Amino acid sequence: MSERKKLVAGNWKMNGSLAANQALVQALRQGVGQPACDVAVCPPSVYLGQLQQLLAGQTAIALGAQDLSQHEGGAFTGDVSATMLKDFGVRYAIVGHSERRQHQGETDLQVALKVRRALAAGITPIVCVGETLREREEGLTEFIVKRQLSAVLHLNGHAINETVVAYEPVWAIGTGQTATPAQAQSVHAVLRAQLRAAGAQAEHVRILYGGSMNAGNAAELLAQPDIDGGLIGGAALKAPDFLTIVAAAA
């Protein structure tokens, strides 16, 4: 029996509206009950205030952000700081999502700095790592995910114990092409071994899987010994699907 409580986090990406968020959260609140796992939703940052209000008075669903600045504050137009997120009751922040690495050119070092900022503010970073299809085909999967995690380990040392890691193969994100449970488990085991080798409390750190996880495949993925939850994109926008995944994690 794992000592790790599973976490299911919804990454809403750049989706939603005041009205749609309200309907979604209402359905989630009604359906979630007392989950045996941790649950979080990560809306676009402009909606954090709305979500904080919609989630008030309950503890089943925590609030998360999709990114944060590596800087403390000041002249960084468009950025949002960890302290600001904390102001809105944010508990988790996705850091280093492949869409940010790809479209915003985020580097391993920036990701590591953002993790440090989140931790300093008391926010749990969900650190994303994952290989592209080309990298997988070239046999580089292990090399890539270890390089990405190693940057975070290097800068944050034992604070890594306070983070969540998410393995998200880029080729599986939003494509409907999920990693098989065996494929995912083998990378998760590599990451846990890396944490152990670095002196972290590897049995304590949660490693989520993300990439086309849905209501139909969640149970099998979540049954793998090193898969400690899910980072859910598309399926997080439909309350019944998201709740099915939450139930599968419990």
Checking DSSP bridges between strand 7-11 and strand 124-129, what pairing results, if any?
A: unpaired
Total residues interacting with ligand PGA, rule: CB under 6 A = 13
The nearest distance, CB 233 to ligand PGA, in angstroms, is 2
The nearest distance, CB 231 to ligand PGA, in angstroms, is 4
Which residue sits closest to ligand PGA, CB atoms considered?
A: 233
SS3 164: strand
Residue 191 engages ligand PGA in binding (rule: CB under 6 A)? no
Of these residues, 158, 168, 204, 220, which one is catalytic? 168
- Contact stretch for ligand PGA (CB under 6 A) within 56-64, 102-110, 182-190, 225-233: 225-233
**β-pair partners for 167:** 129, 209
Q: What is the dihedral of CA 95, 69, 109, 149, to 10 degrees?
A: -20
Q: Which is nearer to ligand PGA, 48 or 232 (CB)?
A: 232
Q: How many Cβ atoms sit within 10 Å of the Cβ of residue 129?
A: 26
* Catalytic-residue membership of 97: yes
Give Rg (Cα) of the chain.
Answer: 17
Chain center to CA of 69: 16
Residue 10 engages ligand PGA in binding (rule: CB under 6 A)? no
Which residue ranges make up the site for ligand PGA (CB under 6 A)? Answer: 11, 168, 173-174, 210-213, 231-235
